[in-house]
Structure formats: C-alpha cells, structure tokens
Amino acid sequence: MKKKEFPIKALVTSLIGVAFMAFGIYRGEMATVLAKAIRICLECIGIG
Amino acid sequence: MVKDKNRTKKESLRHTVQGLWTVATNSFVTGFLKGKIYTGPLKNLCVPGMNCYSCPGALGSCPIGALQSVIGDRNYSFTFYVVGFLMLVGAICGRFVCGWLCPFGLFQDLLHKIPFFKKTGTFKGDRILRKLKYIILAVFVVILPMCVADAVGIGDPWFCKYICPVGTLEGGIPLVLLNEGLRQTVGFLYTWKIAILLILILLSLIIYRPFCKYLCPLGAIYGAFNKLSAVSLHCDKSKCVSCGNCNKVCKMGVYPAEEPRSAECIKCGLCIKECPADALNLGVKNK
C-alpha cells in the first residue's frame, strides 16, 4: 500500500526556523555575521 | 550495462548541480584577481553547505563559521538567526545539501573518482569514527566558542581555527598565494591546517567523503534533520525484494531499504537507479 504523507513535522520545524531567524535578525545577530564575514577570517584560513 | 549507464547519468546530473552551485556561490571574480574577499550585503546570508566566507569568491557566509561567530560574541550566547537557518534548511532537505550543494562534498567526490587507488567501502572502526562529527560539533563549534573567551570577551571559532579544511582550501591557499601581506604571516597553524587538508585529500582517494563521514559538524546537524526532512528517500516496502543492491551501491554505507532516513544518507540517489523493483524514490512524498 502506498503511503501519502504530508510532511507536517518538516513544515512545523521550518516555521519554527523562520521564527528563530526573524527573532535573530530583530536582535541584531545578522550584523554580527556580516561583520565577521566581510573581514578575512585569519583563524579560518590558518593564520590567526 | 544499462544500470551502469543509469548510475553514471545520475552522478553526472548531481555533479553538474554541485558544480553550478559552487560557481554561483563563489562568483566574486575580483576576489580571486586581487586576493581580497567580497564585502557586500549578500554576506548577511548563509549558504547551506560548507563554504568558507574567507574564500575570495564567496558571496555568502558559512553557517558553521557564522554559528561560532555569534555564540562567541560577547553580546550573545545563542544564535537564533543561524540555528533558525539550519532548522529551515534541515527541515526542507536535510543532508540533501551534503550530496548536492556542498562545494567540499564535490571536491571529495572528484578526488574519489581518481583511479589507481584501491577504494575501501568500510573498515574496522568506521562506525565509531562516524560519531566523531557529533563530538566535534558539540565541543569545537558550540562549547569552546561559547565558554572560552579572550580578554575582550570574544570566543575563538575553534572548529574553523584548528580543524576546518574547507577554510584552508577555499580561503587559506588562494589568499596566501595572492596576498603578499598574508604570506608573510604564515606560521605553525597554517602548516597544521595544510596537514589536515592533505591527510583528507589522501584519505578521499581511498575512502568516500571522509570529512563528511567523520568530521563535518554541518553534516551532523543536517543528519539529525534527515529523520523529518520534507525531501527524503522513501522505500515502498510492498515493492522491496530485499536484494541488498541499494546497500551495495551506497558509498556512505547506508542500507536505504532498511533505513531510508538514516543520518548518514546524503540523498545522492545512486540507490534509486540500482533498485530492480523500483521501490526507492527521492522526493517529498512516497511515489
């Protein structure tokens, strides 16, 4: 018998993920990510 | 013969997607020409796979680097933004990212295709070593950046600094070659990271994707989401003839018919073409 399941767990988790992202952006985390990403990360490349 | 042709066709499609994605997300050509990195607004966003944001061509941020930079920041001890992003991507496709959208995955895939080296499927200790990536995730990506801070309260990105071979390959080598100032600062840490990269390159010639199997913290995260992700491998048990072909062809050592949502499955889809009963499919729902 073929199972036709709606991926409800995935949908709920996605929505929680979007809510988390929105809250993270609201409290300014995106600026921290950008600040790190636009400078050469010396640790990442094995220098710092 | 037909199966071999189908398998090659499936692999070609996947490598094309991997290649196009790698080029699309690393297309800041000026960076490669001048030994600098992109500093525009796209770096606010994370890419789904392992892609160092210090790669001269990188347009987006690495999620593992971003995770460490926010939780290591003195203003935060948790990152809703990056965790939310990982939940979103994980819930949609899980380790499909590893199989289809990770530049370092493509790099290892291509290395493994080099002939002349005897390929090893599994070996003693393989199963235990697979747990290592969870320890690396917990210790080097979360606990150390969160708990060990410098004088101004900022934690190091421990995974990036001491383990990540992606940063060495995509950022370290090109930037050191192109940037005279950086070349003069190379020391022990750089040698250490080059050594890790070289070991992984050599291992990739004989073992399929050693970094993904044993070390990658992003693979560990997405693997946990394989259990619920919308895009998943499905097995129609009413069709399955238990021939074991899917297990034999799987380079990640998964038995797709028994455990289609295994945390180790990168959803490459090789097993689908190998199934004589057409019992496996990759998608949102069972066929």
Given a cut of 70, whether residue B4 has pLDDT beyond it is no
How far is CA B243 from its chain centroid? Answer: 30
Given a cut of 70, whether residue A3 has pLDDT beyond it is no
Shared domain for B241 and B149, answered yes or no, is no
Q: How many CB atoms lie within 10 A of CB B97?
A: 29
- Compute φ and ψ for B282, nearest 5 degrees: -115, 120
B81–A45 C-beta distance less than 8 A: no
pLDDT of amino acid A48: 74
pLDDT top residue among B202 and B285: B202
Range of the domain at B266: 232-287
What is the average per-residue pLDDT within B195-211? 97
Is B258 among the domain residues? yes
CATH, residue B272: 3.30.70.20
| DSSP annotation of B234 | E
pLDDT top residue among B109 and B4: B109
Is B4 among the domain residues? no
pLDDT of amino acid A1: 45
- Window from A22-36, B81-95, B144-158 with minimum mean pLDDT: B144-158
Residues of A near B (Cβ–Cβ under 8 Å) read 1-7, 9-11, 13-14, 16-25, 27-30, 32-34, 36-48
CB distance B65 to A36 below 8 Å: yes
Percentage of chain B beyond pLDDT 90 is 83
Is B3 among the domain residues? no
Given a cut of 50, whether residue B127 has pLDDT beyond it is yes
What is the average per-residue pLDDT within B205-211? 97
**Each residue of B228-246: pLDDT tens digit?**
999 999 999 999 999 999 9
Q: Which chain B positions have a beta carbon within 8 Å of A36's beta carbon?
A: 53, 61, 65-66, 69
- Smallest CA–CA distance from B194 into chain A, residue: A46
Given a cut of 70, whether residue B70 has pLDDT beyond it is yes
Shared domain for B246 and B126, answered yes or no, is no
Domain boundary among B225, B243, B273: B225
Is B23 among the domain residues? yes
Is B24 among the domain residues? yes
And the tokens for A28?
């300014």
Distance CA B217, CA B147 (A): 18
Tell me how close the Cα of A2 comes to any Cα of chain B, in angstroms. Answer: 7
Shared domain for B153 and B247, answered yes or no, is no
Bridge partners (DSSP) listed for residue B234 = B281
Distance CA B79, CA B157 (A): 14
Given a cut of 80, whether residue B5 has pLDDT beyond it is no
Radius of gyration of chain B (CA): 20
Q: Which of B39, B100, B72, B70 is nearest to B282 (CA)?
A: B100
pLDDT of amino acid B8: 74
B24, with CB counted inside 10 A (0-12, 13-18, 19+), is: exposed
pLDDT top residue among B279 and A6: B279
**Each residue of B255-285: pLDDT tens digit?**
999 999 999 999 999 999 899 999 999 998 6
Give the confidence band of B11 by pLDDT, cuts at 50, 70, 90.
confident
Is B83 among the domain residues? yes
Shared domain for B95 and B165, answered yes or no, is yes
Is B46 among the domain residues? yes
Distance CA B261, CA B257 (A): 10
Shared domain for B52 and B186, answered yes or no, is yes
Q: Which chain B positions have a beta carbon within 8 Å of A48's beta carbon?
A: 161, 189
B 23-52 residues with CB < 8 A to A: 36-41, 43-44, 46, 52
Give the confidence band of B120 by pLDDT, cuts at 50, 70, 90.
confident
Tokens 């979360």 locate to: B142
Give the confidence band of A14 by pLDDT, cuts at 50, 70, 90.
very high
Shared domain for B130 and B269, answered yes or no, is no
Q: Which chain A positions have a beta carbon within 8 Å of B31's beta carbon?
A: none
- Smallest CA–CA distance from B89 into chain A, residue: A14
Shared domain for B175 and B259, answered yes or no, is no
Given a cut of 90, whether residue B149 has pLDDT beyond it is no
Nearest to A44 among B157, B230, B286 (CB): B157
Distance CA B219, CA B50 (A): 9
Shared domain for B178 and B63, answered yes or no, is yes
What is the average per-residue pLDDT within A15-44? 95
pLDDT of amino acid B39: 96
Give the confidence band of B196 by pLDDT, cuts at 50, 70, 90.
very high
How many distinct structural domains can be found in chain B? 2
Shared domain for B104 and B28, answered yes or no, is yes
Shared domain for B56 and B159, answered yes or no, is yes
Shared domain for B121 and B252, answered yes or no, is no
Given a cut of 60, whether residue B287 has pLDDT beyond it is no
**Each residue of B170-194: pLDDT tens digit?**
999 999 999 888 888 889 999 999 9
Shared domain for B237 and B218, answered yes or no, is no
Distance CA B84, CA A33 (A): 14
Q: Spell out the residues 6+ positions from residue B9 whose beta carbon is closer than 8 angstroms to its own.
A: B273
**CB contacts < 8 A (A, B):** 179
Q: Which chain B positions have a beta carbon within 8 Å of A42's beta carbon?
A: 185
DSSP letters for B136-199 = HIIIIIIIHHHH-B-TTS-B--HHHHHT-HHHIIIIIHHHHHH-HHHHTT--HHHHHHHHHHHH
